Amino acid sequence: MPAIVTAPGIAALAAVSVLYRHDASNEAIVVALLIGVMVLNLLTLWNNESILRHGLAGILPVVGWVLAVLQASLAVQIVIASLRALEVLRWPAP
């Protein structure tokens, strides 16, 4: 039974873990996200033949590009939030 977490899944979990408070409710959210990503990966692995058989292989590169853009925008948002926390970037100006 495969159970993997992809690189975008790890990046999302790391971002949620770093950017938010460390109390029980937020830790439960992180664990729920981890389990959700693992379940989606497992369902995809189990159903990959039917996904490819129905002609959805042409859509997968588009989905990949959308996810890549979302991951890049998340990275930019994390960098901006970090620079604001370090008071290097004072944007938006008060």
Asked, as a colleague might, if the bond just before 61 is cis with ω within 30 of 0, I would say: no
Identity of the residue numbered 1: M
**CA 36 from centre of chain:** 11
Q: Who contacts 12 (Cβ-Cβ below 8 Å, separation ≥6)? A: 33, 37, 74
Q: Find the length of the chain.
A: 94
> Residue 24 in 3-state DSSP?
helix
Contact 81, 46 (CB under 8 A): no
Q: Is the pTM of this model over 0.85?
A: no
pLDDT under 70: residue ranges of the chain:
1-6, 8-9, 13, 16, 19-20, 93-94
